Every structure is written in structure tokens, then in C-alpha cells.
Amino acid sequence: MRTDATDSIDRGDLEALLVDIWKQLLSIEENTIDTDFFASGGHSLAAMLLIARIESSTGISLPLAALVRHSTPRALAAYCLARSETPHIETSLDGTETQAEYLIAYNEPERQTRRSEAYEVYYATAATSAAHAAFCDLVYGANFGQHGMADVAQLDFLIAKMEIGAEDLVLDIGCGYGQIAEYIHDRTGARIVGIDISSSAVARGNERALSSGKPLRFIQMDLQSLSLPEMKFSKTISIDTIYFTNDLQKTLSSIRQHGTETMRLGVFRTFPLRSFTDETWSPHISELGHNLRKLFGGYEAYDFSKEENAHWRKKVEILESLRSESIKEGNENLFQFRYAEARYEAKIEQRRYLFVTD
């Protein structure tokens, strides 16, 4: 079993990733593997962000001093590969790669395609499974065919903090079947448009909306290429979907452009703590926090970490109690899909926040 995050990372991949992170933090045109971070305008806050981004994209935890001594992508990559410390790294979901490799490749096109296919199968199956409905009821407090981590209490919190009301036009990014959107509409009277990569989820959402006559509309779309030119949203929500972009800053800018001038964005997002500690970790050093400040002026982050860690343990427990019912139904694959994920996540210490922009 591998124990070192750097053990199996290819030097070229690591250098390319570091050049990319350099690019995100330094506002200079030319960035190469020999661009010196400090000589090119990197200051101490940017240095902390850089360390945080390296950790969140690779699982490699570095002391600030390492950057001071190895301040180019080439030198820092060499340092990472040579050093002997062994950060705590979990293997990926299928156990065939380290979590660092898994995260580096998380949004590569091939993996995105496989993920979309998996969601397609998930949404096509989950809707007809009584065991899955029971699972959602027990975990989330209502069955909306959820695949995120927000239960009804978190949805109610989101509605209250974002002050969603009947006057709002809301964009729900990664809406699944649209039943979370329907719940929000029922509670607030807001009109809601949802987008999701899964065509079967979206089709189901539109069928429900058509038969209920509620002002809900669902569109199949990749969140990385939002295109709803005729609409201006007053509120936008992303419940466990902001992970799925290759370029967070670009995606958030596009979300911003789809909003009214005073649009507010609410994002639920979980971060594995990995080698951060509560002393060194804060949502404000995350790439998401950094971009929300830059693009939306500011935000409040509400801590749901305790709930998150309990959530995954609860999922494991409830899935185990529903195993035989799922198998009897012929839905063993669906069961395994959720069970493998829940067991993996339950082993990782998580931090979760609702970010709400000003």
C-alpha cells in the first residue's frame, strides 16, 4: 500500500499542476516552471493560498518554509518528490490510486464522462427503488432522490439565510430530479430553473413540473458552460455540485454574469480536512472563499462540519440496514454505488460550509 502522496505522482503532472496554481495566484501573463513566486509579486497571503491550493488539489501538505526555499514550480515539484515526510493520504474510492492522484484527475474529461454516465444510471434507477426512497427519508428527512449531503434542516437554513422569497428567480446548479427545487418553491413561492448534466434526471423534473403546474423548469447543461442568456437570476444555489469544474474561477464568473446586479449565491461544499488541522484550516483560505471574495465582494461561511461527519456515518448505518431490501428489489448495484461512497467518506475527517455571498 502506498503511504506517500508524492510516491506515484509523475513529475511532469505535478509541475503542470503547480504552474497552473501559480497562474491562478499571480497576475502575470507569462508563467513557466521557472517562474519565481516571490519575484513575480507573490505576497504572504498569496503564499498561504498557494499552499492551501496545493493541498486541496493533491493532498500534499507543505510548510510555508518549503515555498520560501523552493519558489518555482520546478523546484517545489522536485522538493515534493524528494522529501521523505509521509502525509496522511487515503486511497481513492476504488483503491487503485492514491487520493492525490484521484484528486488531480478529478475533473479530467474522461473522468467527467464516466461520472456523468454514473449519474445517468443512478438517476434512472433510484427513482423506482422503494429501498432508496426509504434511505433518503431516513438520511435527509425527505425523499428528493438526493445525492448531495444537505438534509432538510440544511435546506431550510439555506432558504432562511438567502432570504429566498416569491419575488425570486432562482438557479439551482446540479438540480438532480428537481425535487429540492420543488421543495424550495413550495416553501417560498420562488420560480426556479434547474440545470443538471443528467438527462434522465432533468426529464423527470420536467414531467413533475408539467403535471403540477408549478413554475419550475429543468434543463440539461454542463455547469462549466452555463448558457441561459435570456435569464437573470436573483439567487443561485449550488448544493454539492461546485466540485465538478475544471476551472472554478471561470465557472463562478459565469454564474455571476447570469445574475442580477444584487444576485446572491449560496454554495454548500465539503472539504476533506486531510493534513490540515483546525488551527491551520479555515474556509477563507479555500479557493472557493478566495474567488467568492474576488467576484462577489464577500460572503459568510456557516459551519456544518459536525453534521457532515455524522451524515456519512449515518449513511453507512442506514445502508447496511437496507442491504437485503435493495438486493430483493434487484437494486444491488445502486446499493453498492452508495455504500462504497459512504464507507470511503465516513473514514475521512470532513469540514463542510454553506457559503452565502453578501
Binding site residues, ligand SAM, CB under 6 A? 119, 146-148, 150, 174, 176, 180, 196-198, 201, 222-224, 239-241, 244
CB of 228 to ligand SAM, least distance (A): 13
CB of 182 to ligand SAM, least distance (A): 12
Nearby residues of 237 by Cβ (< 8 Å), 6 or more positions away: 158, 162, 170, 171, 172, 173, 184, 265, 266, 267
How is the beta sheet containing 216-220 ordered, strand by strand?
Answer: 216-220, 191-196, 169-173, 233-239, 259-272, 350-357, 299-303
CB of 267 to ligand SAM, least distance (A): 11
CB of 148 to ligand SAM, least distance (A): 3
Query: Between residues 37 and 123, which has the closer beta carbon with respect to ligand SAM?
Result: 123
Task: Decide: 263 and 236 in contact? Cβ < 8 Å.
Answer: yes
CB of 157 to ligand SAM, least distance (A): 14
Query: Between residues 182 and 240, which has the closer beta carbon with respect to ligand SAM?
Result: 240
Query: Between residues 53 and 204, which has the closer beta carbon with respect to ligand SAM?
Result: 204
Query: Between residues 70 and 235, which has the closer beta carbon with respect to ligand SAM?
Result: 235
CB of 115 to ligand SAM, least distance (A): 6
Residue with the shortest CB distance to ligand SAM: 148
Give the separation between CA 345 and CA 65, rounded to whole angstroms.
Answer: 31
CB of 139 to ligand SAM, least distance (A): 11
Query: Between residues 223 and 265, which has the closer beta carbon with respect to ligand SAM?
Result: 223
